[in-house]
Amino acid sequence: MSIDLRGVFSGKTLRLPIDEKFDFSDLEVGGNKPINSEVSVKGSVYTRAEVVTLEAVAKFSYKAPCDRCCKITEKTFEIPINHIIVNTLADEDESDFIVSENMELDLEDLTRSDVILGLPFLFLCKEDCKGICPKCGKNLNTEECICKPEVDERWAKLSEFYD
């Protein structure tokens, strides 16, 4: 979905509202397709002091297994989308700006990139998830494990002090 930015760049339009929905159900993350709702993008493109800025928020539902205990978990994410948009660059670092070719902005591609970069590296069911016991396989959030921790034989003699 392209947004025509001619009015914003010319100064005729001071604020261009954005209210779009995108389908990213095909987006694969870690072997799963976890985005299970439309991605709603709300915000605006505006000009202030001759600088064109995009400020929006992408909101969506994300359903995937917890990276520690494998429990299927659903959370709602709100990813900020903030960029400065320019027509051309002259010896500037391109990573700091979004270059708008033909005074248009492909909002869907930009949103997809920002959503991917905004997802957490580690997806957890809860912040203090204990995970799964590597020996018996019990979920340590719901069950107590009776496995004894392995002692490195180099330190085995020290464990006698605690018996």
pLDDT in tens, 133-163: 988 889 999 999 888 877 778 887 787 776 6
Whether residue 32 is predicted with pLDDT greater than 90 in this model: the reply is no
pLDDT of amino acid 91: 64
Q: What's the pLDDT at 42?
A: 93
The percent of residues in the chain predicted with pLDDT above 70, rounded, is 94
Q: What is the mean pLDDT of residues 6-33?
A: 81
Stronger pLDDT, 6 or 129, i.e. the higher one: 129
The residue with greater pLDDT, 53 or 130, is: 130
Mean pLDDT, residues 117-125 taken together: 89
Res 79 pLDDT > 70: yes
Mind spelling out the 3-state secondary structure of the chain?
Answer: CEEECHHHHHCCCCEEEEEEEECCCCCCECCECCECCCEEEEEEEEEECCEEEEEEEEEEEEEEECCCCCCEEEEEEEEEEEEEEECCCCCCCHHHCEECHHHEEEHHHHHHHHHHHHCCCCCCCCCCCCCECCCCCCECCCCCCCCCCCCCHHHHHHHHHHC
Q: What is the pLDDT of residue 57?
A: 93
pLDDT at 6 over 80: no
Q: What is the pLDDT of residue 46?
A: 83
Q: Flag whether pLDDT at 124 surpasses 90.
A: yes
Write down the pTM of the prediction.
0.75
Structure confidence at residue 92 as a pLDDT band (50, 70, 90) = low
pLDDT at 130 over 90: yes
